Amino acid sequence: DKAGHKHFMAKEIAEQPQVIGDAISHYFGSGTDLHLPGDGIDFNGISRMILVACGTAYYACLTAKYWIEKLAGIPVEVDVASEFRYREPPVGEDAIALFVSQSGETADTLAALRYCAGKARTILSVVNVPESSIARESDLALPILAGTEIGVASTKAFSCQLTVLLIVALEAARQRGRLDADRQAEIVTALRGLPARLNLALDTEAITERLSQELAEAQDVLFLGRGQMYPLALEGALKLKEISYIHAEAYASGELKHGPIALIDQNVPVVVMAPRDPLFDKTVSNMQEVMARGGKVLLISDKAGIEAAGDGIWRSIEMPVVEDLLCPILYAIPAQLLAYHTAVAKGTDVDQPRNLAKSVTVE
Nearer to ligand M6R, 106 or 228 (CB): 106
Stretch that binds ligand M6R, among 53-61, 137-145, 276-284, 326-334 (CB under 6 A): 53-61
| Residue 63 within binding range of ligand M6R, rule CB under 6 A | no
Provide the minimum distance between the beta carbon of 4 and ligand M6R in the complex, in angstroms, as a whole number: 23
Instruction: State which of positions 150-169 bind ligand M6R (CB under 6 A).
Output: 152-154
The number of residues in the chain equals 363
Check if 358 is active-site: yes
Q: Which of 354, 43, 336, 52 shows the shortest CA–CA distance to 168?
A: 43
Nearer to ligand M6R by Cβ, of 50 and 297: the residue is: 50
**Cα pseudo-dihedral 308, 281, 260, 154, rounded to 10:** -80
The type of residue at 118 is G
Please tell me which residue in 119, 241, 346, 358 is annotated as part of the active site.
358
Residue 57 within binding range of ligand M6R, rule CB under 6 A? yes
Report the chain's C-alpha Rg in angstroms. Answer: 20
CA nearest 202: which of 328, 299, 24, 330? 330
Q: Which is nearer to ligand M6R, 263 or 360 (CB)?
A: 360
Selected from 16, 63, 82, 106, the binder of ligand M6R by CB under 6 A is: 106
Tell whether residue 231 is a contact of ligand M6R (CB under 6 A).
no
Choice between 301 and 348, CB closer to ligand M6R? 348
Within 10 angstroms of residue 304's Cβ, the number of other Cβ atoms is 12
Residue closest to ligand M6R, measured at CB = 55
Which amino acid appears at position 299 of this protein?
L
> Is there a contact between 317 and 217 (Cβ–Cβ < 8 Å)?
no
Q: How far is the CB of 74 from ligand M6R (least distance, A)?
A: 23
- Which of the stretches 2-10, 101-109, 167-175, 210-218 binds ligand M6R when contact is defined by CB under 6 A? 101-109
The answer to whether 102 contacts ligand M6R (rule: CB under 6 A) is yes
- Does position 82 interact with ligand M6R (CB under 6 A)? The reply is no
Cα 352 to chain centroid distance, Å, stands at 21
- In the complex, the smallest distance separating the C-beta of residue 175 from ligand M6R, rounded to whole angstroms, is 27
3-state percent breakdown (helix, strand, coil) of the chain, nearest 5? 50, 15, 35
Q: Could you give the angle at the alpha carbon of 315 between the alpha carbons of 353 and 351, nearest 5°?
A: 15
Instruction: Look at the alpha carbons of 72, 75, 78, 84 in this order and tell me if their dihedral is positive or negative.
Output: negative
Q: Which of 242, 302, 318, 351 binds ligand M6R (CB under 6 A)?
A: 242
- Is residue 142 within 8 A of residue 127, CB to CB? The reply is yes
Closest Cα to residue 79, out of 88, 70, 92?
88
Work out whether 55 is an interface residue with ligand M6R (CB under 6 A). yes
Strand 48-53, strand 95-101: pairing: parallel
Nearer to ligand M6R by Cβ, of 84 and 280: the residue is 84
**Is 207 a binder of ligand M6R (CB under 6 A)?**
no
Q: Give whichever of 187 and 233 is closer to ligand M6R, judged by the CB atom.
A: 233
Burial string for 259-281 (b: 16+ CB within 10 Å, else e) reads ebbebbeeebbbbbbbbbbebbe
Q: Which residues contact 193 (CB under 8 A, 6 or more apart)?
A: 322
Binding mask 124-153 for ligand M6R (x = CB under 6 A): ----------------------------xx
**In the complex with ligand M6R, which residue's Cβ is closer, 74 or 237?**
237
Minimum CB–partner distance for residue 334 and ligand M6R (Å): 16
Binding residues for ligand M6R (CB under 6 A): 54-57, 101-103, 106, 109, 152-154, 242, 356, 359-360
| Residues with catalytic function | 358
